A and B are shown apart, each in its own frame.
Chain A
């Protein structure tokens, strides 16, 4: 039980995907012009990640080492098509505003990264909570960034006006430059908080979060295919 909680909670801070691990950056920037899109994308990723983790964990013992990445990709892609169909059938406006980033969930490093690093080696119940934890962390991150950009860039939150009368929105926040700068500042703030916490505990150096961790997940997933 304790182990399960540990695997679940790590996704919420220590390994928070877009801000700490620098994974899944494309959708983080692209679909966070509004809080609603961020939430929808996060929900889609939770669905794909949790189910792919569970399925991969279930079949992990019968998959031959050499073709495991191909199997992971096939499973993830199937789930992405499921999401595409369900989203078109039940949430068409969301499907329209997320655009090509719905099919692109399949190449989101988080999915293959978790499959390779966790689900392929651990029993089903742990894979399930791992997927849920990381997925929820991802959804919270996207919704947070989306809220920030929507409130500053349009003066609304989930489409409702929240700022005072006469508030002049910073239009650039909902455009591409705003996405990069907001994410950069959030990552900086996270680093700062972590350094403060590490100092308080007076232990161990802060683990440098480096850009190449970005490729890390993908690299790890794909490189091992050659083995």
Chain B
């Protein structure tokens, strides 16, 4: 009996100590981890869309609330000559294995896409992963909002043949971003001064 009590006590003490250490460490590392994720996943995607920018879009990012939604939307501003040249927003679509995350660059003056670039995906190498190739993504450059969907859906973009699911994930992500952008566009333009 005494031994049983000892066993339970020792195990509980170890688990308690472990929980205490880990929850504190989690608190401490959470902001650092968020920053690392943004720097190594979102930032390279933004840099692939915009060749030149004078600010750090990750450091200048801002969150916007959409009325009636729980999750705020993060917007990355791209500045040129001290004025807002473009914004980048991240969108998600259900891919072949897990979520596909797509960074979408938007020109607020012309209401058109500047380009898209995948930030995170685990699609099948060689097949689904072709949604990351310029042959597919370049079609989005300069596309007007209503054209940024698949031809089957009335848009002007060719899906990647043989990778229907992965292409669908990109279209889903882009249309999600455009819907979010439409809801917060006026807030964005109030926050950063745009050109002209």
Q: Which residues of A approach B to under 8 Å, CB–CB?
A: 59, 62-64, 66-67, 70-71, 74-75, 77-78, 81-82, 85-86, 88-90, 92-93, 96
B83 at interface, CB cutoff 8 A: no
Q: Are A89 and B11 in contact (CB under 8 A)?
A: no
Task: Contacts A78-B22, A82-B22 given; indicate if A62 touches B33 (C-beta within 8 A).
Answer: no
Nearest A residue (CB) for B21: A78
Main secondary structure of the interface of A (DSSP, over half): helix
User: Given A89-B36, A92-B39, A93-B40, 7 more contacts at CB 8 Å?
Assistant: A70-B11, A71-B14, A78-B18, A78-B22, A85-B26, A86-B25, A88-B33
Count how many chain B residues have C-beta atoms less than 8 Å from C-beta atoms of the other chain. 19
Q: Are A74 and B37 in contact (CB under 8 A)?
A: no
Q: Report how far A173 CA is from B33 CA in the complex, Å.
A: 33
Q: Which of the segments B2-10, B59-67, B92-100, B163-171 contacts the partner chain?
A: B2-10
Contacts of B6 in A (CB 8 A): 64
Q: Are B40 and A96 in contact (CB under 8 A)?
A: yes
Q: Which residues of B approach A to under 8 Å, CB–CB?
A: 3, 6-7, 10-11, 14-15, 18, 21-22, 25-26, 29, 32-33, 36-37, 39-40
Q: Report how far A96 CA is from B26 CA in the complex, Å.
A: 19
Nearest B residue (CB) for A62: B10
Closest chain B CB from A22 CB (angstroms): 30
Nearest A residue (CB) for B8: A67
Nearest B residue (CB) for A85: B29
Contacts of B3 in A (CB 8 A): 64, 66
Nearest A residue (CB) for B35: A89
Instruction: Please list 29 pairs of residues, one from A and one from B, whose beta carbons are closer than 8 Å in the complex, sorted by A's number.
Output: A63-B10, A64-B6, A64-B7, A64-B10, A66-B3, A66-B7, A67-B10, A67-B11, A71-B10, A74-B11, A74-B14, A75-B14, A77-B18, A78-B21, A78-B22, A81-B22, A82-B21, A82-B25, A85-B22, A85-B29, A85-B33, A88-B37, A89-B32, A89-B36, A90-B32, A92-B33, A92-B36, A92-B37, A96-B40
Q: Report how far A112 CA is from B22 CA in the complex, Å.
A: 21
Closest chain A CB from B179 CB (angstroms): 30
Q: Report how far A112 CA is from B39 CA in the complex, Å.
A: 36
Q: Report how far A127 CA is from B14 CA in the complex, Å.
A: 19
Q: Report how far A70 CA is from B39 CA in the complex, Å.
A: 38
Nearest B residue (CB) for A77: B18
Closest chain A CB from B91 CB (angstroms): 21
Closest chain A CB from B12 CB (angstroms): 11
Closest chain A CB from B70 CB (angstroms): 25
Q: Are A86 and B29 in contact (CB under 8 A)?
A: yes
Nearest A residue (CB) for B31: A89
Closest chain A CB from B118 CB (angstroms): 14
Contacts of A92 in B (CB 8 A): 33, 36-37, 39-40
Closest chain B CB from A103 CB (angstroms): 14
Q: Are B36 and A88 in contact (CB under 8 A)?
A: yes
Contacts of A63 in B (CB 8 A): 10
Closest chain B CB from A120 CB (angstroms): 14
Q: Report how far A66 CA is from B8 CA in the complex, Å.
A: 11
Q: Report how far A37 CA is from B50 CA in the complex, Å.
A: 30
Q: Report how far A90 CA is from B31 CA in the complex, Å.
A: 11
Contacts of B36 in A (CB 8 A): 88-90, 92
Closest chain A CB from B22 CB (angstroms): 6
Closest chain A CB from B97 CB (angstroms): 14
- Per a CB cutoff under 8 Å, which of A70, A78, A89, A96 touches B29? A89
Q: Report how far A147 CA is from B25 CA in the complex, Å.
A: 33
Closest chain A CB from B119 CB (angstroms): 12
Contacts of B22 in A (CB 8 A): 78, 81-82, 85
Q: Report how far A96 CA is from B33 CA in the complex, Å.
A: 12
